[in-house]
Amino acid sequence: MTPLQRADLPRARRVVVKVGSSSISGENAAKIQPLVEALAATHARGTEVVLVSSGAIATGMPFLALDSRPTDLATQQAAAAVGQNVLIYRYQEALRAFGIVAGQVLLTAGDLEDATSRSNARRAMERLLGLRILPIVNENDTVATHEIRFGDNDRLAALVARLVGAEALVLLSDIDCLYTRPPDEPGALPIASVDYGDDLSGFEFGSVVVNSVGTGGAATKVSAARVAAASGVGVLVTSADLVAEALAGEQVGTWFAPNPAPVDEPRTGPVLTRR
């Protein structure tokens, strides 16, 4: 079978889209609407769509009168408990105009490392997709601990894409594509595509970024993209503002070509290292 190309995204059978906290919370909460419009257009083409959405903690912060992301686990859990409810409500309100129903799926790292739990999660997701429900996946921050957390939802999205056998994964952030070094530095060049197995050691993707609302960064996206691509999933990294163009197969973002001979899913989840 010919590996999926960027231009084939509109014809993909199943796509996972991941959006970060900073793109849909706080001042950017209104961006949920154009995101949902792009997902609905993809859904209308017959593609099965899974959304992996960060933002529970960030969304809950104002309701707990917090000015910045909490650092202690208990307050993070409290903010997530409040914020997840509000976040799903906002998504469902935006989806209502398109006649699409959202289904909430909360996972911990242990759910995808244990074979039985992983099988249960896959069965639930398959049934939701079969019913034309749009699953909205997030880490279960209310019960997760520092020791077992995914760490960032880029990694979670890669594992979910592999779990459901998606053909493509779209990782959305606040930059239009990946660069050879941080884009604010002199000499940074955009990376249009990455063939499977390409050596990226000469590029400077930077360390994990922790901002006022979320965690993540270019390095986590590269790491997650490599894992998904190894499983035969084509990966596109681009800006949340370009989600409609991305799902339409336009020439945006950084495309990670899938492994033409994908590996089987291991019985336990991989441990990703950050560069």
Please state the φ and ψ torsions of residue 249, each to the nearest 5 degrees. 80, 15
Q: How many CB atoms lie within 10 A of CB 1?
A: 5
Q: Is 173 annotated as a binding-site member?
A: yes
Beta strands 209-210 and 215-216, pairing class: antiparallel
Residue with tokens 């979910």: 160
- Which tokens in the block code for residue 104? 């909430």
Q: How many CB atoms lie within 10 A of CB 70?
A: 17
Q: State how far the Cα of 79 lies from the Cα of 92, in Å rounded to an integer.
A: 20
Which residues lie closer than 8 Å to 152 by C-beta, 6 or more apart? 208, 215, 216, 220, 224
Q: Is 153 annotated as a binding-site member?
A: yes
Q: Is 85 annotated as a binding-site member?
A: no
Q: State how far the Cα of 5 lies from the Cα of 170, in Å rounded to an integer.
A: 13
- Which tokens in the block code for residue 186? 């002199």
Q: Is 53 annotated as a binding-site member?
A: no
Q: State how far the Cα of 162 lies from the Cα of 270, in Å rounded to an integer.
A: 11
Q: Is 176 annotated as a binding-site member?
A: no
DSSP code for 155:
H
Q: Is 23 annotated as a binding-site member?
A: no
Q: Which residues are annotated as a binding site for ATP?
A: 18, 173-174
Q: Which residues are annotated as a binding site for substrate?
A: 54, 141, 153
Q: Which residues are annotated as a binding site?
A: 18, 54, 141, 153, 173-174
